[in-house]
Structures are given as C-alpha cells and as structure tokens.
Amino acid sequence: MEILECIDTIINKYHTSKVSGKINASNPCFSGDTKVALVDGRNLNFIELIQENEKGKQNYCYTIQKDGSIGIGKIDNPRMTRKDASVIKVILDNNEEIVCTPDHKFMLRNGNYKEAKDLIINDSLMPLYRELLPKFFFEDKINVQNVISAPLAINHKVNSIQSLNEKINVYDFEVPGTHNFALTSGVFVHNCSEYMFLDDSACNLASINLMKFLNTDGKFDTEGFKRVVDRFITSMDLLVDGSSYPTEKIAQNSHDFRPLGLGYANLGALLMSFGLPYDSDEGRAVSAAITALMCGQAYKASAKIASNVGPFPRYAENRESMLDVIRMHRDHVKDIDVNKMPYDLRYLVNEAWDSWSDAHELGKKYGFRNSQATVLAPTGTIAFMMDCDTTGIEPDISLVKYKVLSGGGMLKMVNGSVGLALGRLGYNEDQVKNILNYINTNDMIEGAPGLKTEHLAIFDCAFKPAKGKRSIHYKGHVLMMAVCQPYISGAISKTINMPESATVEEIMDAYIFAWERGLKAVAIYRENSKRSQPLNTKKTEGEVVKKTEVVAIKQGREPLPQTRKSITHKFELVDHKGFLTVGLYDDGRPGEIFVTMSKQGSTVRGLIDSWSLSMSINLQYGASVKDLFGRFRHQKFEPAGFVRNSDERGKLDESQVPIRVCGLCGGPAKRIGNCAIKCSSCNTTQRSGCGE
C-alpha cells in the first residue's frame, strides 16, 4: 500500500504529462515466464517466485559481487511492476530467449552494463557457469561462502534483438547490495531508479561537475553555470532526434515527449570547499538552491527552444498539468531557508527564483520543448573521468580511500578538496600542510594538529574511518535528498549508507523516514554487507598500496604579486642579443616568462611573445615546470643559429633558449659538459642533450 501511495501521491504529483498516462514504475522489467537461477538448483519464473514469497519462502539467487566473483543474493519483493508494457526479445548464441523491457540492463563480460535496446550482435554477456557451482541447500545463508566462478573460453553472446508487437505484464525483484541477478539463461542483469516517466519512453543522461564553477573568491559562478545548462539542454534535445530506438513505441514516445535527464556530480566536494558540513541546515540550503537553479534554468532553456521550434508534440494536451508542475517547482524555492545559508551564497536563491519565474512565464507563452529536464544519476563511472572527488549528490565515502586494483594491489586516494576547505576556514599554509600530512598518515582528520573541534563536521563522510568515530548519520543522507527532490523532474539515485551495526529495525526506520519526506526512490547499503567492496576505508593486510600525492588543489589562475622578484638571463643567438626574464612568486616558484630580442622582426617577435604568454598562463594555472621543460626542449626549427655565451653551447633555435633553465624550479641553468645542466637556484644537476 505504501509503495502504491508513494507512486500516486509523490511520483505522479510532479508528472508533467498526466493526460497521456500515469508513471507506473522506475525499474525495467521481465516477462512473467522468465526464469531465475536459484542457488538451490531450481529454476523458477517470476510468477512462481511471487507465489512462494507469499507463502513465506525465502529464495536466493546468484549475483556478481563488486570484486567480480559470483556470490549469493537474497531475493526481496518479487512483484509485477507494470501492466501492458512494450518489450523486446534478446536471443543468445545458445538459443536462449529473454523477453524484457528495452531499458533493462545486461551485464557485459567486462563488468559494465548496457541496456537491452543498445545491445548489438556479438556483445559478450557476463556468463554464469552454473555446472561448476555447487548446489546449496542451506538454512543459514551467512555461512555459505564457497561460491565459485571460473574463467572459461566461451561466452554468452547476443545473436539478435527483435521488437515484439505484443504488450505484456512485466515483473522484477530486488537484490539488496549488489542489485543484479542471474537468469536461468546464464546471464546477469541489473536495475536503476532515477528515470521515472511514462512506459515505453527513453531518456538521455548528462551530468555537470559542480566544482568547475567554484570561483577563486569562494563564490559559485551562477552565470557560467546557467550558460552550461543552456548548452547541455540544447545538445541533449538534439540527441533525441539523432538517436535510434529499439521499438517503434519507444521511438514514438521519445519524440512525442522528448524527456531529458540533466544532473550534476561533485556536490559533496563543493560543500566541503565551501566549509559547510554535508549533514547541516546550511549545506542542505545551498544544495537545494543549486539544484533549483539547475532545474529552473533547464526548463527556461527548454521554453526558449520551444519559442523557436515549438514544444514537444504532446504538450498541448498536457499544457495545464505541465504548467502546474512548473509552478509547484517554482513555489518550492520559497521553502529554502535563506537565513540558514552563508551570507555570501544567499544570492543563489534569488538566481533560482528568477530562472523558475522566467521558465514559467516563457512556458505559458511558448510551451516547453521537453516534458522532463532533470534527474540525479549516480555518476559512479563518469564522475572519476570528470575529476570529481564525489559522485552525484553523494558526500565523500571517506577522506582517504583504498581502491582495489584489478591487476592486484590497492590505490590510496585522498580527497583533494580538504585543502580548499581549510583555506576557506582561515587556516594558514603551515597549518594546512600539517593537517594534510596527518590525514595521509592516519587515514582520517580526527585528531589532526591545529584543527578546531567545531570544524570536524565539515569533513564527515559516508563511512566511519577505520580508526575514527565520526560519519554521516543515515538521516543526513535522506534529508539531503529530501531538500533537492522538489527541484528534480525525475528521481534521485543515491545510496543511504548505514553502519555495519545497523539493525533490521533501523533499516526499516530509514525506509519509512525517506517515504515520509516524499522521496521517489531510495537504496540502502549496510557497510560490509558484502564479502568485498571496491572502496575501503583501510588497507587490506598484505596489499601493496600506491599512494597519491596529498596536495591542496588550487582553483583558477594564481596572480603574481604586484611587486615581485625576477631572474634575467642574457644570451646571444648569432648576431641577435636576447634576454630571458622569469618572474617569481614570493616562494620562488616561476610564474611568468618574457623574452626580449633585438633585430628579430615582426614575425619572430609575434611568435616569441605568443609563446611567452602561453607559458606564463600555463605556469599561473599550476602547470608543472618540469612538464613544460620536457615538452619544449630539443625542438628544432628555423630560424636557428649558434649561441656565443659560455652557458649555451651548440646550435639552438629561438624556442630553445628560454628552456635552458632548470626543469625543476625554473631557475637559471648552466651546461655541464655535453649531457647535463646544473641549476644555481636548487643546486640540482639534470640530464640534458646526448640524444634525449
């Protein structure tokens, strides 16, 4: 009853296309006669699983764990999820046929997932070699650990995909923790929950790295953020027409409603950089404002597109419900408690209100190009490609994480936003350095020298450190989702992390707490509930750890002091005198390079000036002197000639003269013999020449 009530009162309340049909479910599903491989050796279809569940029978399936091995998963809540759904048929090379909704995800041999509609012939699916697995009949599932998987020379491959004209009822169940299970056909499948819309529709996703909009003054660049949202919405809308779809119905609905799924990543790192605890009224207010700004601007962009090319085709029949939802979204901006926000970030609420007001007014006049605009996806894969410290709407798992490497060993990763947060909180460079060194040594910030007790909450993470005591309470996760959900078209995919000590009653309370706050979707993970997990808060005994450097990441361009020291180096290239000047920061680091020459002509002067400007900007944005040194030395092109001073022997072109400086500190370097240079600033000798 609670699930149905949630769908009717929460999910469909914010449904922009009510006239065209209800939102029935978020998950992709299978036909009722699809069989699941059970660990007791039986093969039951979904209808049989539901019947046994109603009689109190607990069944268990095979599931792929995070370390890639096959384990045992509990089957929860087998049920019918949709009526009269469009489906497709996937045929494997062993002639097995799987009927499912087009958006159901299949696990590939490499561990990644692909929706059924996107599968192509010869795609290799993750196999279940069931004949090699023991058949377990057990009472205590906790003691069953000897489940094995074996690499064989054969795979289950896709032979063909067929669209089916019939509509059928479809089914699914949940596997807590791993969210995948094996079918009798010998392949593994998976579910997700952020996209909630009409049956037989599709949505393309995109996510924005929020840290890219953190200015050097500590403010959030709303103008830049809005421009990026505008471009994303335009690009994503174009993809609707440029995409192919597995069934005629999905293609038709995708063009008729044009739903999009723009979201963001790195929210946890952004809040930390602001000096705000994730689990705080201040952090939640800022998060709500940014989420509201994104969605409001997305719908504003959608209305602008509609003013040029028209609204989505089914807009007219859904005009009233769409405008009503936009109005509700806009009015929720008034619920953001501005007084809880830092004074210098309160402008975010005004920006969000303006975007929503503009979206509503433009929508009334022109309609909207897209029926949905935003969701919040997990971004578990793309976040790290985007240089994010945190994924999606999540806080950091831990300030120090140990990632299990597929080739063996572990990688130690330290959150790069800690230094920014400490700087914003007023700690000086020495204090920041000492605290970062403490984190690197102890894998936590608790007890760091000089850290104020009142600042500890800013660095709280989802998991408690191995030697620490602090972590974010599960209610902190739910409350963050609750304040952002009113400004999201679809739903939020987010993990509610709970400690290993969490009881059944506490997990039940978490679900009820989430439902009471109007969340559309929720997923709970109890720490160490699986035999292994990809990220850990401590090093596994016997593993070799590869460390990442602990640094305070600088955002943006670092200007040089108005009055600064410099080093000038004189050289002669044939009959041309030249001077290389290196401007220095107060700590001796090079920050700019200028080259002055006589009789070089306008073309060469322009080349050298442009090169110097490029090098200077690179240095001021934090590029490594060593990397720049390595890239430019030993390049040869005309005009070139012999140098006459004793520091520079041999034939050089103009681009080589400035590089005859130290590749480590940027100081002046003298040649030692034919194969090395020596820096007079840092007193190092480096190999240079001799065929490098």
Residues with catalytic function:
191-192, 194
Cα torsion angle, 558, 563, 564, 567, sign? positive
Place of tokens 């020379």: 153
Instruction: Name the residue type at position 681.
Output: S
Residue 466: HSE in the Cβ half-sphere, 13 Å Cα cutoff: 13
CB 82 within 8 A of CB 104: no
- The CA-to-CA distance between both ends of the chain, in Å, stands at 73
Using DSSP's 3-state secondary structure scheme, residue 578 falls into strand
Separation of alpha carbons 225 and 222, rounded Å:
5
Q: Tokens for 536? A: 């850990």
> How far apart, in whole angstroms, are the C-alpha atoms of residue 232 and residue 260?
10
How far does Cα 330 stand from its chain's mean position? 27
Chain centroid to CA 522 = 18
Where is 350: in which H helix or E strand?
Answer: helix 347-366
If DSSP states are collapsed to H, E and C, what string results for 461-479?
Answer: CCCCCCCCCCCCCHHHHHH
Cβ-contact 260, 203 below 8 angstroms: yes
Instruction: Work out the angle at residue 640's Cα, subtended by the Cα atoms of residues 634 and 646, and round it to the nearest 5 degrees.
Output: 75
Residues in the chain: 692
What is the torsional sign of CA 588, 594, 598, 600?
positive
